Amino acid sequence: MISNEHIINIDKPMDWTSFDVVRKVRYTTRIKKVGHAGTLDPFATGVLIVLTGKNTKRQNEFMDMPKTYDAEILLGNQTDTGDRTGAVVETAPVPELSEAMILEALSEFKGEIQQIPPMYSAKKVDGQKLYKLARKGKVVERKPSMITIYDIELKSWTSDQINICVKCGRGTYIRVLAEDIAQKLGTLAHVKELKRTAIGDYRIEDALSIPEFIEKWKSSAA
């Protein structure tokens, strides 16, 4: 049964914001105190931990858990958002790739690395969210953050696309990682598809779709 004090593993739909999910859970359950632990970009899908009641105080606990993502990276084009929803701002030829070349590039990102947050992000600089500045055409200086990449696995690749699985720590932007990997390969890139498959022990296989959650809530409340 889903109660007022619950941790809900939701499979976030494509084109929904993380807050859209929170709003839907709040509307469905009529629970006033609802939050989430770790934003997913609207174009991304996958595990979003929704917390209700007193569990909202545990947000940082969940945000500190390792996260796993499957990412499809399209090479040759860079967009202003770093993903397929943005406008192409620059193109570059893609060199002839080999598996060894890709694996060598990926290996350079394992461990603790520095990463500059993207302009299209909710991170704040001088009290202003970066994405709001970006929408006004402004670019401001961002300080690099130290992040942890626990593992990167090459799942498959073609002449212009690499598909990877990344296990990482808090504050990691997969869009920036994709651009940095492409730079190591001598080209540009953006993220074509992104799915979060796990947060700690909360896995995509156990996640509820929005319709499944609504049905489960109605059944438990009946």
Residue 41 a catalytic site member: yes
Average pLDDT over residues 14-41: 94
Q: Check if the beta carbon of residue 14 is closer than 8 Å to that of residue 45.
A: yes
Tens-place pLDDT, residues 78-111: 999 999 999 999 999 999 999 999 999 999 999 9
pTM score, two decimals? 0.91
Tens-place pLDDT, residues 136-174: 676 767 788 899 999 999 999 999 999 999 999 999 999
Low-confidence winner among 139-143, 144-148, 187-191, 199-203 (lowest mean pLDDT): 139-143
CATH architecture of 67-196: 2-Layer Sandwich (3.30)
**CATH class held by domain 7-64+200-221:** alpha beta
Q: Which of 11, 15, 20, 41 is catalytic?
A: 41
In the chain, where the domains are located = 7-64+200-221, 67-196
Q: What is the mean pLDDT of the chain?
A: 91
Equal fold, 7-64+200-221 vs 67-196:
yes
